Structures are given as structure tokens and as C-alpha cells.
Amino acid sequence: MVEASGNELRLSQMAELIQDVEGFVRTGDLSQVTALNQAQLSEETLKAAMVEAAPATRPALVALEEHPLLRGQLGCFDLDPATLERRAATFHRAFVPALYPRLAPALLTKGDYSLEATYNTFLFGSPKASRFWRRVLARRDRTEAAKTRTVLQRFLDAIEGAEELESALDSMIAAYLQEAEEKHHFDWRYYIVKYPAMRSGDSGVFISDEPEMGYQLRLLDKRWANSYHRDAYLHTIREESELGDVIEMPPLFGYDNPVRWLKLGSGLAIRCVHEGLVVRPPREEHREAFRKVCEAHPVSEDGVLAVSQRGDERPIDSEDRVQVAVGFLRDSAASGL
């Protein structure tokens, strides 16, 4: 509870906090705790009730509490005696730094496990850093953690008993991608799972231009946007095109949200919107080459390189927009644009 009360440990409250800790150490009575974090107090009460009803779960519970990604905050676990021990054992095997690059996409195949930190900012697991996984997994509010908990339990059940976790995670990712491609269902999760560049931000933090995750995302290396970062889709398109320095992608910095373009030397540029890819024509001397490229890659009169989509209220791509953009850029570069 002290760990969960970190941002509430103020000098003005210290006498009450010490009294809570002293009283609990002496009596073990949670009902007398008043100053420490109340959400964590509720969590501790649930744990105590489970252990009282099923004493055999205590070792698994304590081991989870001591895990460095959790530190006593088990809001992402169902406190169910029937499943806790086996899920805890699987969690200990899977959530190790060597597997972080695979865990982030594999977990996403089972659903959206993100935590919305602030408006339009979404936290996912990091390919490198434990502290960012902790921000997602160590939740003291069970209601806040409900979405992550559902996906995590589904994921742990899917890999339980796997002899080689690396192979199991790779197979999980491959199966998800195959199904999405067969169904032509390319939502934002598909792109993050499919392309390493889409999840290359060290922090696992995305900022969306919309109230939810979608096709206009910024990818952060740090915790906050007051650092250099990049457009997730444009960065991925640039990497997949293999055109290198032929393509210019200015870095982003700060919370302002400028229109983001991927540019060729001719002035030709593209950017992502929900409907597809907006194309900005090149300078006048390149217009004839541009016209020929557009014969193979139809661009509408209002400058949209369409991506096939399905659905009404919030259409989902039915073709891979990254590959649509890559084909357009490669042909443009080959035409001298």
C-alpha cells in the first residue's frame, strides 16, 4: 500500500501514514487503514479474502506482488483461486526483458490492452524498458485495469504450457496476421503487430489525432511529447520503402500537432488521414512525371490516394495502406520525383 501511495506521501500527512503502517504491522487489520491509498486498500482487502478462502494461493500471490513490473499492484489479474497460480507461473516466464520485443505485438493480437493516460495518449508495452511495462500493468484501480486485465488473462491462457515461448509468441503473431490478411481487415492493431517500425518507440506511448487509436498516430521514445518523436505510419512507410535519404521526414517536437508530410526531393509529399493518403503534387517542372505515376496509382481530384475501406461510421482499411504508399513512393522515385 505504501508503494501505491507514492504520489500521496506528503509531509502534512506523515503522522497519519505512520499510524496506519504501525497499526497494520501490529494487528494485520486492514479495516483500520485510513490514510494510505484507498484503491490499493480495496485491492488488499480482495487479496486477503482470496487467501483466507484458498490458503494455497498465498505463495503465488506473494510472488506476483514481488514481481518488479507489479510491486504489489495486481489490478491486471483476476483474483480467482482456480486460475491465479497457473497464470502467475506463466506471467513470470513470459514477462522478462529478453521477450519484450515479442510481447508487445503478441499481447496486442489478443486485444487492445492499452491504458489511456491522458486525452488521446495511449500506453502500450515497450520493446526495451521495464518501467514502461510497469505503467501499463501495475494498476491499483481494478475498474481502470479492466481492459488490460481481460487481454492479459486471455494472452496468458493462450501461451500456458508452451515449451519455447519465443516460438509460441512468433506463432501467435503469424496466426493473427494471416487471419487479418485473409479477411482483409487492416485496423490499427494490424499495423502495429505487422511492422516493427510501427512499434519502435522506446516508451510504447502513442498520441492519436483522434479520441481513439486509428490511422493518425505519433510514436514516442520518451514518456511525454516534449521530446523528439515521429509519425508512426509515415515512419513505417519510409522504412518499408527502403528509399533511405531520398525521403525526407522532419522530426516532431512538442505538443503542437502540425500537418505531417513525408517528402521527396521534387516537392511531392504524402500524409496519412483516416480515409487514406493525401498527396501534395510536386513542383511544376515535375508535373508530367507525376501525371504518369498517377495513371498507375489513381489520385483523386482532391489529392487523395485512396485506400480501400469497409464500414460506415468508422471505416477500416481492407488493403494495407503501408504497401499502397510504398508502391506509390517507389514508382515516384523511379520516375525522378
Contact between residue 285 and residue 315 where contact means Cβ atoms under 8 Å apart: no
d(CA 59, CA 61): 5
Does 77 fall in a domain?
no
φ, ψ for residue 216, nearest 5 deg? -135, 90
Amino acid in the structure at residue 28: G
pTM of the predicted model, to two decimals?
0.88
Spacing of C-alpha 304 from chain mean position? 28
Does 293 fall in a domain?
yes
SS3 56: helix
d(CA 208, CA 119): 9
Does 190 fall in a domain?
no
Contact between residue 163 and residue 191 where contact means Cβ atoms under 8 Å apart: no
Considering only CA atoms, which of 208, 232, 254 is closest in space to residue 325? 232
Does 329 fall in a domain?
yes
Does 225 fall in a domain?
no
Does 276 fall in a domain?
yes
Does 21 fall in a domain?
no
| Cα separation of the two ends of the chain | 61
b/e per residue 221-239 (b: at least 16 CB within 10 A): bebebeeebbbbbbbbbbb
d(CA 155, CA 169): 10
What is the total count of domains within the chain?
1
Burial class (CB within 10 angstroms; exposed 0-12, middle 13-18, buried 19+) of 73? buried
Neighbours of 118 (CB within 10 A): 9
Does 55 fall in a domain?
no
Residue 325, domain extent:
250-334
Between 165-183 and 100-108, two packed helices, what is the crossing angle to 10 degrees?
Answer: 40
Distances (CA, A) of 125 to 77, 249, 280: 17, 25, 35
Q: What is the pLDDT along the chain (337 residues), one digit of tens a residue?
A: 444 444 455 554 555 555 555 555 555 544 555 545 555 667 888 888 999 999 999 999 999 999 999 998 899 999 999 999 999 999 999 999 999 999 999 999 999 999 988 879 999 999 999 999 999 998 768 888 999 999 999 999 999 999 999 999 999 999 999 999 999 999 999 999 999 999 999 999 999 999 999 999 999 999 888 888 999 999 999 999 999 999 999 888 887 788 899 999 999 999 999 989 999 999 999 999 999 999 899 888 889 998 999 987 889 999 999 999 999 999 999 999 9
